[in-house]
Amino acid sequence: MVRYLVRRLLSALIVLLGVTLIVFALLRLTPGDPAELVLGDTAEITPQDIARVRARLGLDKSLVTQYGIFIWDLIHGDLGTSVYSREPVAQVIAGKMGNTLLLTGSGLVLSVLIAVPVGVVSAAKPYTLFDSASMALALSGTAIPSFWLGLMLILLFGVKLKWLPPSGAGTWRHLILPALTLGLGRAALLTRLIRASLLEAVSQDYVRTARAKGLGERAILFRHALRNALIPVVTVLGLQVAFLLSGAVLTETVFAWPGLGRAMVRAVLERDYPVVQGIALLISASVVLTNLLIDLCYGLLNPTIRRE
């Protein structure tokens, strides 16, 4: 188990190093000079002013040197300082993280509350009208882009009916529409997975044996079949946590939700390299760490994986 753990940790570190290189390179290849954006578009700007700002931002050094400094600071826990607000990037992230976790957590809970009962009922009554309708809606939910769904929810509940605030934050009512936008797509995926896993579980020999012993269908479904069917669902659910964090970028932008996603979009438009790097690395690290935890759970649950 120790060798398996070490191999997975090394793989995760290599992936994270690759992510830092990709994020660093892509930001430097985008058009526009951050120094000119910081100084503003005025006639009084001289080349000396631009050179002075580039030196302050460290942009006058070679790309290799900039990347080395970035990695060295990252190892020491320094994510840099925002070009515009002059705040430490870690402080910027900490101020937005709570809102993003609230939004992603609400979306995850909502997706589970929808997916589990609908998926179980669809598997218990396959090929009925309810099953066909729920699977059609689930297929539509996986195909609809989140930003389009968010705009439609704003148009219906925020503009036409005026039941909910269309954007912003502050009360629990502001959370409903973005949480729905983020959670419905995940609920559609989980619903289809729960139905497929449960239908496969009820066809196994142990279910036929339970029926032969005279157990009722409800007891067979919830005590035996559902427990085994949820194993792959839990795996996918763990991955959804990371995908919800990354998907919050679009949702927060559409609803003007003050989280990491909206802060990242604003930082990209302003060429605020340190903030973009810090948020991108945080989201990437969450994906890598979630995959690592799932791999370790596989190793604990299935000894053959450790031996392989």
pLDDT tens digits for range 270-296: 778 788 888 888 888 887 787 777 777
Residues 149 and 282 both lie in one domain: yes
Residues 166 and 289 both lie in one domain: yes
Residues 233 and 113 both lie in one domain: yes
Residues 71 and 104 both lie in one domain: no
Residues 50 and 107 both lie in one domain: no
Distance CA 64, CA 301 (A): 43
Q: How many CB atoms lie within 10 A of CB 292?
A: 17
Distance CA 186, CA 242 (A): 12
Rg (CA), the chain: 24
Taking the whole predicted model, whether its pTM rises above 0.95 is answered as no
Q: Which helix (H) or strand (E) holds 113?
A: helix 89-124
Most confident of 35-39, 45-49, 100-104: 100-104
Residues 68 and 100 both lie in one domain: no
pLDDT tens digits for range 193-204: 888 888 887 777
Residues 117 and 71 both lie in one domain: no
Residues 48 and 117 both lie in one domain: no
Instruction: Spell out the alpha helix ranges (H) of 144-224.
Output: 146-153, 172-201, 205-212, 217-219
How many domains is the chain built from?
A: 2
| Angle 10-14-17 from CA coordinates, rounded to 5° | 140
Share above pLDDT 70 across residues of the chain, in percent, rounded to a whole number: 87
Distance CA 229, CA 201 (A): 6
Q: Which residues contact 98 (CB under 8 A, 6 or more apart)?
A: none
In CATH, what number is assigned to the domain containing residue 184?
1.10.3720.10
Instruction: Please report whether residue 170 resides in a domain.
Output: yes
Q: Which residues contact 171 (CB under 8 A, 6 or more apart)?
A: 165
Distance CA 27, CA 271 (A): 8
Domain carrying residue 192: 96-307
Instruction: Please report whether residue 57 resides in a domain.
Output: yes
For the segment 125-134, the average pLDDT, to the nearest whole number, is: 88
